[in-house]
Homo-oligomer: A and B are copies of this chain.
Amino acid sequence: MKFVIQRDRLLASIQDVMKAISSRTAIPILTGMKIEAKEDGITLTGSDSDISIESFIPKEEDGIVYVEQIEPGSIVLQAKYFPEIVRKVPMNAVEIESDGQLNVTIRSGSAEFKLNGQDADEYPQLPKLHSEDSFELPADLFKNVIKETVFAVSTQETRPLLTGVNVRVQDDQLHFVATDSHRLASRQIPISAAFDFQNVVIPGKSLTELNKILDENQDPVEIRITNNQILFRTKHLYFLSRLLEGNYPDTSRLIPNESKTVLQIDTKELLRSIDRASLLAKENRNNVVKLVTQESGKLEISSNSPEVGRVVEEMSVEEISGEELRISFSAKYMMDALKVIESEQVKIEFTGAMRPFLIRPTDDEDLLQLITPVRTY
């Protein structure tokens, strides 16, 4: 195998593929990165067996030559050293060559690295997905949906299904739901094409890594699903993740359909106020803040840490209606929810101090955040 490649293009692909490579893996060869040279370009592969990523660098694209002097072949290189080497080579052209004895030479300018490679035949074959169940989303929309939901997945392995984001089709809408059973994030987007599609649960970690790799543009991401795997494909990227098995709980019944107190308030101002109220309770795991409606029509946000002190703040609201309210909740959950809302104002619907409440952007009915309050009295 041999080729000469543009450093920056190679480095970008390496960084994508590294997202799937872990130094802790039961299969030693997976600590390496597979490099495969074919006539039309170079493919890099990384995998931790949960996630597998392939990135393709075409020989030439849009009139720009990325790879030259290709002699087909493949090799696996230790991922621990390869990215740093490519980042630090002296010239923009990098030559990578392997001989029959798995010796790899990386040359750039007058610098030469000789590395021990591994046999690419020993690298696991990635499964090829044969599935007709596919649909497309623009990358920027998909990134947004991930951001709006994935933070709410559970980090505890006691209920493995909750560490994933549930995706299902209903009423010509694609529904994304994540919950750790204390809070829930839900986003729906309309779909135009009719297709037959299962209810699946995608590991939160896979979506987080995918979000780091996808560019913020409108290029389509093709999504293909089988029983136990999901593939995300863009022009030069192939991102495969296992799916979580089991029946995701029906979360629709958690969402109250009546409300007793309704607020409309500035999103950023509320976020900053909750942030301040939480300052003294940082080490407190629950980090509880209290919200109380005032006769003046304002809100009081407060928090009390007996050892340290007390914070209290009065906030103006845009609109308030319904019953008086005293409610306590996790500052972290509230901030997580508010941070992903871009709308200037949010509407918050409460159904008493003991029931979950809903946060929605005022300009977007398809995003919903739910938080279960904390009982303090």
Chain A residues with CB under 8 Å of chain B are 78, 81, 84-85, 88-90, 104, 110-116, 272-273, 275-276, 279-280, 282, 307-315
Contact = CB atoms under 8 A, between A and B. Distances in A.
Contacts of A113: 276, 279-280, 309-311
Given A272-B90, A276-B88, A279-B85, A112 B308 contact: no
Contact of A311 (B78, B104, B112, B282): B112
Contacts of A89: 276
Given A81-B308, A85-B279, A275-B88, A313 B116 contact: no
How many copies of this chain sit in the oligomeric assembly? 2
12 contacts: A81-B279, A81-B282, A84-B279, A85-B276, A88-B272, A90-B273, A90-B276, A104-B309, A110-B314, A110-B315, A111-B311, A113-B311
A61 to B, nearest CB: 29
A114 B276 CA distance: 12
B275 A111 contact: no
Nearest to A88: B276
A143 B49 CA distance: 50
B90 A308 contact: no
A308 B115 contact: yes
A338 to B, nearest CB: 15
A310 B84 CA distance: 14
Nearest to A302: B112
A111 B309 contact: no
Nearest to A85: B279
A114 B81 contact: no
A309 B279 contact: no
Contacts of A311: 111-114
Given A273-B111, A280-B113, A78 B315 contact: no
Most chain B Cβ neighbours within 10 Å, of A88, A104, A315: A88
Contacts of A310: 113-114
Contact of A78 (B110, B276, B308): B308
A312 B112 contact: yes
